Amino acid sequence: MEKPINNRAWLLVLPVLAFVLFSALLPMMTVVNYSLQDSMGANNFFWNGDAWFRDVLNPSTDIGARFFDALGRNLSFSFAALLIEVPLGIAIALCLPRGGWAVGPCLVLIALPMLIPWNVVGTIWQIFARADIGLFGAAVNGLGIPYNDTQNPVSAWITIVIIDVWHWTPLVILLSYAGLRAIPDAFYQAARIDAASRWAVFVNIELPKLQKVLVIAVLLRFMQTFMIYTEPFVVTGGGPGSATTFLSIDLVKIALGQVDLGNAAAMSLIYNLITITLCWIFYTIMTQLDRRRDA
C-alpha cells in the first residue's frame, strides 16, 4: 500500500505566498485603475474605457509611435544580448576546470560582477566609458576609433550591450557549468571509446544535456534584458536623443516627467503582457524541442 503524500509543508509557505500576492495585486489594481480612467486632478477620476490602450497601440499617435519605437529598441537589445551572452557563457563554462583547487576561486571570480548592484554598475561604467578620462573610452579613442557614448548612438548602444554582457554573462556561465558537471562520466567514456572529436562530444553529448539549463538561462536573461532600466538610465540617460530610451525608461518619463498616468498605465500593462507572452513562447519552443529530442 502506497504511503499518502503529505502536503502540509505548503502551510509553512502560505504566509509568504499571501504576502507576495497581496503586495503584487495592490500595485496592479492601481495601474489598471489609471489605465481605464482619466484624472483631472484633486483625485477626481472619469471613466475613459479603452481609449488609452487604443492610443498606445496606434502607431499614428504620438504615444503609439513612442511605444513602438521603444519596443523595437527593447527587442533589438534583448536579442543582441542573448546572441552574445549564451554562446559566450557556454564557451567559458567549457574552459573551466572540472575539479581541483582552482574550481572555487574561478567560480567566485566569475560570479563577482553579479554581486554588484545595478546602480553601482551604471556609475562604474559611466566613468569607465568616458571618452576623456575613462579607461575604456580613452583606450578606444586611442586606437583611432571614434567613441563617445553620450553623443554617438552607436557608441551608446555598444556600451549598454557591453555592460550587460559583463554584468550577466556570469549567470549563463554558472548555469552552464552546473549542467556540465551533472553529465555522467559514462557519456565521456563512451565518446573516448568511439574516438569522438571535441566538437562531436559538444554537439552530441554536452549541448543536448545543457538544453534544460539553457531554457532557464534564456528565460532569465530575456526577462532582465527586456526590462532593463538602471544601467542605460545612469550611463546615457536614454540618449543620445532616444537611442537608448527603452520602454522602462520611456514609462518613467511619461508617468513622472509628463504626469500622463493614463497612457503610462496602459503602456505598462501592454509591456507586462508582451513580456509574459514572449517568455511563454520561448519556454514553449525550447521545451517542445527538448521533448522531440527525447522522443
Looking at residue 77, what is its pLDDT?
Answer: 94
Looking at residue 5, what is its pLDDT?
Answer: 65
Looking at residue 294, what is its pLDDT?
Answer: 65
Nearest CA to 31 out of 233, 270, 230 is that of: 270
Q: Please tell me the distance from the alpha carbon of residue 43 to that of residue 37, in angstroms, as a whole number.
A: 11
Looking at residue 283, what is its pLDDT?
Answer: 80
Looking at residue 242, what is its pLDDT?
Answer: 85
Q: Residue 72: helix, strand or coil by DSSP?
A: helix
- Report yes or no: 271 and 250 within 8 Å, Cβ to Cβ: no
Q: Please tell me the distance from the alpha carbon of residue 26 to that of residue 267, in angstroms, as a whole number.
A: 18
Q: Please tell me the distance from the alpha carbon of residue 243 to that of residue 152, in angstroms, as a whole number.
A: 9
Domain residue extents for the chain? 1-49, 65-294
Nearest CA to 68 out of 81, 80, 56 is that of: 56
Looking at residue 135, what is its pLDDT?
Answer: 87
Upstream peptide bond of 240 is cis (omega within 30 degrees of 0)? yes
pLDDT per residue as tens, the chain (295 positions)? 556 666 677 778 888 888 877 877 778 888 888 888 887 666 677 888 888 899 999 999 999 999 999 999 999 999 999 999 999 999 999 999 888 888 889 999 999 999 988 888 888 898 888 888 888 888 888 888 888 888 889 999 999 999 999 999 999 999 999 999 988 989 889 989 888 888 999 998 898 888 888 888 988 899 899 989 988 999 988 888 888 999 999 988 888 888 888 888 999 999 989 988 988 888 888 778 767 766 6
User: DSSP H helical segments within the chain, as ranges?
Assistant: 10-36, 51-56, 62-95, 103-111, 118-128, 135-142, 153-181, 185-193, 198-201, 207-209, 211-226, 230-235, 247-252, 261-294
- Report yes or no: 47 and 36 within 8 Å, Cβ to Cβ: yes
What letter does residue 291 receive in the DSSP assignment? H
Query: Which amino acid, one-letter code, is at 142?
Result: G
* CATH among 1.10.10.10, 3.30.1450.10, 2.40.128.30, 1.10.3720.10 for 65-294: 1.10.3720.10
Looking at residue 175, what is its pLDDT?
Answer: 93
Asked whether the whole model's pTM tops 0.75, one would answer: yes
